[in-house]
A and B are shown apart, each in its own frame.
Chain A
Amino acid sequence: MADFNDRQELNERLSLIENMIAEGRQSTQSWGWTFVLWGVAYYVAIAWAHWGDAAIAWPVTMITAGLITGIIAMRRSSGRPETKLGRSMAAVWISLGISLFLFGICAGFSGHGDQHVVIAVISTMLGMANATSSLTLRWKPQFACAVVWWAAAVVSLFGTVTQGSIGFLVAIFLCQIVFGVYMMIGEAREARQLRSRSGKEGPSHA
Chain B
Amino acid sequence: MPEPMAQPATDLPELNPIIHGKLRLALLSLLSTVEEAEFTWLRAKTNSTDGNLGAQLLKLEEAGYVSMEKKFVLRKPQTLYRMTESGRQALTEYVQALKQLLGAAIES
Q: Does B61 contact A (CB under 8 A)?
A: no
A83 contacts B41, CB within 8 Å? no
Residues of A within 8 A of B15 (CB): 4
A13 contacts B34, CB within 8 Å? no
A25 contacts B33, CB within 8 Å? yes
Residues of A within 8 A of B21 (CB): 206
Q: Does A192 contact B (CB under 8 A)?
A: no
Residues of B within 8 A of A10 (CB): 98, 101-102, 105
Q: Does A84 contact B (CB under 8 A)?
A: yes
B25 contacts A24, CB within 8 Å? no
Bound-complex Cα distance A21 to B26 (A): 9
A14 contacts B98, CB within 8 Å? yes
B32 contacts A203, CB within 8 Å? no
Interface of B is mostly: helix
Query: What count of chain A residues pass the 8 Å CB interface test?
Result: 28
Closest to B44 in A: A79
Residues of B within 8 A of A198 (CB): 47
Closest to A4 in B: B15
Bound-complex Cα distance A72 to B95 (A): 38
B105 contacts A13, CB within 8 Å? no
B9 contacts A1, CB within 8 Å? yes
Bound-complex Cα distance A132 to B95 (A): 33
Tell me which of B26, B36, B105 contacts A203 (CB under 8 A): B26
Residues of A within 8 A of B24 (CB): 206
B23 CB to closest chain A CB (Å) equals 5
A40 CB to closest chain B CB (Å) equals 31
Q: Does A163 contact B (CB under 8 A)?
A: no
A17 contacts B29, CB within 8 Å? yes
B38 contacts A20, CB within 8 Å? no
Q: Does B48 contact A (CB under 8 A)?
A: yes
A5 contacts B33, CB within 8 Å? no
A5 contacts B105, CB within 8 Å? yes
B25 contacts A4, CB within 8 Å? no
**List of 4 A-B pairs having minimum Cβ-Cβ separation, nearest first:** A24-B33, A20-B29, A203-B26, A81-B34
Q: Taking beta carbons and an 8 Å cutoff, which residues of B are in contact with A?
A: 9, 12, 14-15, 20-27, 29-38, 40-41, 45-48, 52, 55-56, 95, 98-99, 101-102, 104-106
Given contacts A4-B14, A5-B12, 11 further A-B contacts (CB under 8 A): A5-B105, A7-B102, A10-B102, A14-B95, A14-B99, A17-B29, A81-B37, A81-B41, A203-B23, A205-B23, A205-B52
